[in-house]
Structure 1
Amino acid sequence: MSNVTEVVEELVSPIVNDLELLLVDVEFVKEGSDWFLRVYIDTPKGDIDIDQCALVSEKLSEELDRVDPITQNYFLEVSSPGAERPLKNEVDFQNAIGQYVFIKTYAPIDGMKEFEGYLITYGPDGAEVEVRIKTRKITVLIDKEKIALARLAIDFSA
């Protein structure tokens, strides 16, 4: 169903841009017998509110009715990506520098596949993360190609 998400991204991008918001992600998923079209938006400051979500939902709904790219019945949800928002592209990673992140890799690095810590840098070589292992802090460089999943996380030790 990636075609649906691509069409929806094309429809919603001008809407969020006009409202000076950010498009974080679009999902089209089946849960049980129901389909859900989920659009995650935010502000550059990370303080999206329910009125902004409702406005995007209303405008997107009009566009979806006009273009009609989805054949089955579905529920449209427009919401905040939450505190643990995904990091999917270069801009997401750049905006997350200095923040606490969780990164899962396809292959182990020094015997580990999950890393949680502060994102120090992100560039052509990958993500440099300061992680705590017991009582010491180490810096790990995670190659971009090895990143399976990345998201903001909550530091419960702070």
Structure 2
Amino acid sequence: MSKVTKIVEELATPIVDELGLEIVDVEYVKEGKNWFLRLFIDKDEGVDIEECGIVSERLSEKLDEIDPIPHNYYLEVSSPGAERPLKKPADITKSIGKNVHVKTYEPIDGEKVFEGILKEFDGETIVIEIKIKTRKKLVTIPYDKIALARLAVSFS
């Protein structure tokens, strides 16, 4: 986590907590000539544009006070969307029973990408039920081998 994203998360946490929201992710990235500071927020029922606006306004005030970013940037506050990232163990626990997409740092059973129903998470390993043609198979993946995990939209 970069210094900027850490500061932003620290500033945003009391704001989102007060509104009953959670921080899903913070990004600070350069795209073309422009810098973007993105805060992704959510709650069980989903967030609306009004909540994003409130968080954006309050966070912008805090950022102006301490001015941690020396150049111009765009602040964006939004929902993480249907394919939200699963960054923390708590995110994974909440996603049991849902369709997930997982990439690993190294191959497991000869594969590095898995998509299926998240069946279990014990803090050390996850178990995903994947489909191979017409049969189902359980794949166990060590948590520390996960490079990326997110919810996945299923069209089946």
Q: For structure 2, which runs of at least 5 residues remain unmatched after alignment?
A: none
Q: For structure 1, which runs of at least 5 residues remain unmatched after alignment?
A: none
CA distance in 1, matches of 2:99, 2:127: 12
SS of residue paired to 2:114: strand
Q: CA RMSD in A?
A: 0.9
Structure 1 partner of 2:108: 109
Q: Structure 1 residue 90 and structure 2 residue 89: aligned?
A: yes
What letter matches 1:50 in structure 2? I
Structure 1 partner of 2:79: 80
Which string of whole-angstrom CA distances, capped at 9 and with x for unpartnered residues, describes residues 2-53 of structure 1? 00000000000000000110110000000000000000001133x1100000
CA distance in 2, matches of 1:80, 1:124: 26
CA distance in 2, matches of 1:124, 1:92: 11
Is residue 22–residue 44 contact of structure 1 (8 Å, CA) maintained in 2? no
Percent sequence identity is 58
TM-score by length of 2: 0.98
SS of residue paired to 1:156: coil
What letter matches 1:43 in structure 2? K
CA distance in 2, matches of 1:5, 1:95: 24
CA distance in 2, matches of 1:125, 1:44: 25
Structure 1 segments, 4+ long, off by >6 Å, are none
Is residue 129–residue 139 contact of structure 1 (8 Å, CA) maintained in 2? yes
Which string of whole-angstrom CA distances, capped at 9 and with x for unpartnered residues, describes residues 79-123 of structure 1? 000000000111100110100000001111111110000000111
TM-score by length of 1: 0.96
Is residue 52–residue 77 contact of structure 2 (8 Å, CA) maintained in 1? yes
Structure 2 partner of 1:36: 36
